[in-house]
Structure 1
């Protein structure tokens, strides 16, 4: 297994940290705790009435109730009413994060998605535009991380790899999508994976968070950001979900440089859930 994105020889690997050359990889059985959350009239008079269970009920009231039911049935922006296909595959261009963005798997994956949507952008454009968390990395004398940024607020560290870098989570990515496609960002985070697949079925690739080898994370770290205690796996990665069938999902991986990588569906879902079921796209 290739290991990338080292901060120092004595520190664990950070975001976009590793991958396995085998297109199908097994799931490890681990019992680690999952990522801690990083710390949302007057009635119309009428002489017409009917008697239901002994109480008078006006026909106009009945019509009002019918209209209320119809209104509550309106679909939200997140609901896709198109039936999910049994399989789908989107021909999304592959973009690699290296050598310019050693820790830039999120913005590189987003560049693939936005280019598929017809947006004229590049990974470097998104690198410059994404929100950054400026808090510096502070380590103990023995190399443990004491304080750092919050990836929920912006990219933590240096994406280029000239200094230590980590990751960015869904909210800054949603903000960036809305910059490029105003009002069209879709946050699929914490929805059932079938909803994510339905979005792909409807023709939209999705940026999803996993690990570098699509296994359950096994390198955990924690630090403080202000008074917040952040616990998160270091072997974090982001890829583009471009297809699926009954047994597999297919991913464009900006780190390995492979297009439509086939990974067992249940295995991938396990790693995705361990990364707090994060997923973003557009409509």
Structure 2
């Protein structure tokens, strides 16, 4: 039985290179109680084991009700049309004090170089697998796609040895706990932070990869009761406010992918 991977696609005119946040979202106002500003990340964060519901509840009770991290903003354009993942990673690593930038990460991230093959009418027949490495051309000179959490974790450990944390597949509360402790996270969403509604599929070896058309990666830098705050490398906006409930729904639809460090 073949395994289906539900992932987001970056076609030549879509994904990280297109579909910036909706204009009405830009007008969203923060609550009257401004989030706590954290200018420096903590030196240490101990992840808590959560073998039962009582311990999980205790952990979440320790989370701040609101937080906002002063993560530096880096724009992916014009150099990296499809480079939302490595640009978001550059923001996070800069905040952690690592000596790197988006172009270094662009060169260092693992690539899946399987070529793009199309049918006569332009449909994608086969391409690479973003689980294994970045698919396509990140610069936009040719079609570009995406990369997922495992190659990103490898890069985090290169700059912060032994400190990478893969939050993929966990509950969003675990991601909020991490940000509350002072650690931003790279999260996968869509270009307008809404549920994906257009899909593409192709083969990769013996697998069939089914993908929504609008994949994007941003840095989760803060939250409060109703809102999450994002550094968006495509729109070039810092601490973008987005409805928390809506964002979580989209994040789950994109297979709950997130990476960070401790």
- With over 3 angstroms needed to count, the CA separation of the structure-2 counterparts of 1:172 and 1:85, relative to structure 1, is same
- Say whether the 8 Å CA contact 1:23–1:263 is kept in structure 2: no
Cα displacement (A) at 1:22: 2.1
Determine the C-alpha separation between the residues in 2 that align with 1:121 and 1:23: 34
Deviations 1:166-186 (A, max 9, x none): 000001101111111111000
Name which structure has the greater RCO, CA cutoff 8 Å, separation 6+: 2
Residue 124 of structure 2 corresponds to residue 123 of structure 1: no
- Say whether the 8 Å CA contact 2:126–2:203 is kept in structure 1: yes
Cα displacement (A) at 1:20: 2.8
Deviations 1:246-283 (A, max 9, x none): 00000000000000000000000011001000000000
Deviates more, 1:226-235 or 1:86-95: 226-235
Residue 88 of structure 2 corresponds to: 109
Residue 224 of structure 2 corresponds to: 245
Determine the C-alpha separation between the residues in 1 that align with 2:59 and 2:198: 39
- With over 3 angstroms needed to count, the CA separation of the structure-2 counterparts of 1:6 and 1:146, relative to structure 1, is closer
For the aligned residues, what is the CA RMSD?
A: 2.0
- Say whether the 8 Å CA contact 2:193–2:250 is kept in structure 1: yes
- Say whether the 8 Å CA contact 1:206–1:281 is kept in structure 2: yes
Residue 258 of structure 2 corresponds to residue 257 of structure 1: no
| 1:66-145 equivalences in 2 (<5 Å) | 75-76=48-49, 83-145=62-124
Determine the C-alpha separation between the residues in 1 that align with 2:146 and 2:112: 10
Cα displacement (A) at 1:215: 0.4
Aligned partner (choices 119, 124, 127) of residue 148 of structure 1: 127
Cα displacement (A) at 1:14: 3.8
- Say whether the 8 Å CA contact 2:15–2:191 is kept in structure 1: no
Residue 63 of structure 1 corresponds to: none
- With over 3 angstroms needed to count, the CA separation of the structure-2 counterparts of 1:14 and 1:245, relative to structure 1, is closer
Cα displacement (A) at 1:81: 5.2
| 1:92-241 equivalences in 2 (<5 Å) | 92-241=71-220
Residue 14 of structure 2 corresponds to: 13
Could you tell me which runs of 5 or more consecutive residues in structure 2 were left unpaired when the two chains were aligned. 1-9, 27-46, 51-55
- Say whether the 8 Å CA contact 2:15–2:190 is kept in structure 1: no
Structure-1-length-normalised TM-score? 0.76
Determine the C-alpha separation between the residues in 2 that align with 1:133 and 1:98: 22
- Say whether the 8 Å CA contact 1:17–1:236 is kept in structure 2: no
Q: How many residues end up aligned between the 2 structures?
A: 226
- With over 3 angstroms needed to count, the CA separation of the structure-2 counterparts of 1:6 and 1:234, relative to structure 1, is closer
- Say whether the 8 Å CA contact 1:23–1:262 is kept in structure 2: no
